[in-house]
Amino acid sequence: MYTPEQIVENYTKFLALIDEHISEPRKQQLLDFYNTYADRISTMPASSKEHHHNAFVGGYVDHVMRVVNVALNLKEVWNAFGGTDNYTTEELVFSAINHDLGKMGTAEHEMYLPNDSEWHRKNQGAMFKMN
């Protein structure tokens, strides 16, 4: 879905969210982490199931950026209607940025491994629903 240039552009925007909303020393720790795994994180999908959200190359970063934007917008609406916060904007953005981080796998092994079987990609979840 994305060209290599768009993937780089999205990842740059993703890192800018950290730069804008996260303070030191957490900011540098996050930037160091995300720069270490930039190739993997910038290209991984948000889901391994073809019929789920953002199941395409670069989908993870796209999904996370939308979650951050939705969270910030909901915070504004919440406050506009008199809601009170028991968290900081930094905590909100930090949580949104990292909410799906486990999808990357471990330092040694990617969670999403390419599957050449079209049938398995399309029917992963269906096998378990039949039982």
3-state SS assignment for residue 126: helix
pLDDT digit string (tens) for 87-121?
999 999 999 999 999 888 777 777 655 556 676 55
Nearest in space to 72 (alpha carbons), one of 13, 11, 12, 17: 17
What tens digit of pLDDT does each residue of 10-69 get? 999 999 999 999 999 999 999 999 999 999 999 998 876 776 778 788 999 999 999 999
HEC states along the chain? CCCHHHHHHHHHHHHHHHHHHCCCCHHHHHHHHHHHCHHHHHHCCCCCCCCCCCCCCCHHHHHHHHHHHHHHHHHHHHHHCCCCCCCCHHHHHHHHHHCCHHHHECCCCECCCCCCCHHHHHHCCHHHHCC
pLDDT at 124: 52
Model pLDDT, residue 67: 97
Residues 119-131 have pLDDT tens digits of 655 655 443 443 3
pLDDT for 122 equals 64
| pLDDT of the residue at 126 | 44
